[in-house]
Amino acid sequence: MTARKTGAPKARARKPAPSLRELAQRHASHALTRLVGLIDSKNERVALSATQTVLDRAHGKVTQGMNLKTPEGGLIVKIVRFKQEGKHAE
């Protein structure tokens, strides 16, 4: 016959709690499916928002462009050099 050990039971190692990112990633597929479904919403604002969100996730947000053309149709660059006493600045 073997002797039983006495004392407190050994504690089990606990898994660390999942991070917020891990929890979100678990639900990402369902969220995307729901979002894509909203693209066909009868509410235009909902459809537009869903469409923009899906495109932003797929291709990145559109960067804001700048119009560098003058009314004459071209970009003008002026290069100015200043003289310093005793030497030329470049």
pLDDT tier at 42, thresholds 50, 70, 90: very high
- Residues 36 and 49: their CA atoms lie apart, in Å, by 11
And the tokens for 41? 């919403």
- Residues 63 and 26: their CA atoms lie apart, in Å, by 30
Coil, strand or helix at 44: helix
Residues 27-43 have a mean pLDDT of: 96
pLDDT tier at 61, thresholds 50, 70, 90: confident
| pTM > 0.85: yes or no | no
